[in-house]
Amino acid sequence: MEFEKIQNNAIRVPELVMDSLVKAIEAGKIRVGDELPPERDLAEALGISRNSLRECFSVLNFMGIVENRGNRKILVKNADYFRNARSLIELSYSQDTFEDFMEFRQINEREIAKLACQRATEEDLERLRSSVERLERDATDFQADVEFHINLAMASHNTIFATTMGYVQNLIMELRTRFFEREEYHGKTAEAHRRIYEAVRERDEELAAYEMGRHLKIIEHYNINTEK
């Protein structure tokens, strides 16, 4: 199965992979319900690394475009759905939407932190701890940042929160890649994640919400100063 190769830009890989898949659907090379080629073959066909492809699939899974069925990945949405999803991803590259994203996160992630205090299992706490420690060990591991927020949403045991926050966290990947280029950002983020995790572990809802709010204010601060 042939796919159009993409110009590998790590920041916009999910969007570019969508473009290539849309073209393959329109050309009749792949249809809804078809199994996608093996990961190695698809990465080679698209001209990207397997790691980049995995990150892209995490976005496609959250958006309901691709389903995992055992070791198989099945295309479950048509080209029109792809185009709509691509439009949403483009929002994450626009500075005009940053305040909207942060407002959304302040309202929802503070409540998610409270629910996690009420509902997190030992397994949830272990996932959060692992994400915190990964980020503390490696200043370049921005995926650990993503996973922390997704794991926190999962610990709320609210399906809508978990799915929505997974989607939003992947949408703002471009911001993370810019912020993590600044050494001091990593330290502040790692410390914030540690404080949120400890508040959730202690089941302190108000403290967890407060620490999440502080963390998001730091992100707003760095966005303002990055744009100067």
Token pair recorded at residue 127: 């996932």
Token pair recorded at residue 14: 């999910």
Which CATH number describes the domain made up of 95-226? 1.20.120.530
Residues of the chain with pLDDT under 70: 1-15, 62-63, 85-97, 167, 170-183, 222-228
pLDDT of residue 25: 82
Reduced 3-state DSSP string for 100-142: HHHHHHHHHHHHHHHHHHHHCCHHHHHHHHHHHHHHHHCCCCH
Which CATH number describes the domain made up of 10-88? 1.10.10.10
Please list, in sequence order, all residues whose beta carbon lies within 8 angstroms of the beta carbon of residue 11, skipping any fewer than 6 positions away: 173, 174, 177
pTM of this prediction? Answer: 0.64
Token pair recorded at residue 174: 């471009």
Over residues 15-24, the pLDDT tens digits come to 677 778 778 8
Over residues 38-87, the pLDDT tens digits come to 888 988 888 888 877 887 787 777 667 888 888 888 988 887 877 776 66
Token pair recorded at residue 48: 């990207």
Please give the backbone phi and psi of residue 72, each rounded to the nearest 5 degrees, phi first.
Answer: -100, 150
* DSSP category for residue 12: G
Tracing tokens 């473009």 back to the chain, one arrives at 19
pLDDT of residue 26: 81
Which string of DSSP letters, residue by residue, matches 154-190? HHTT-HHHHHHHHHHHHHTHHHHHHHTTSHHHHHHHH
Token pair recorded at residue 177: 């890649």
Instruction: Write the single-letter amino acid at 167.
Output: Y
Q: Where are the chain's structural domains?
A: 10-88, 95-226
pLDDT of residue 184: 80
pLDDT of residue 8: 47
Q: Are 125 and 190 in contact (CB under 8 A)?
A: no
Tracing tokens 């100067």 back to the chain, one arrives at 228
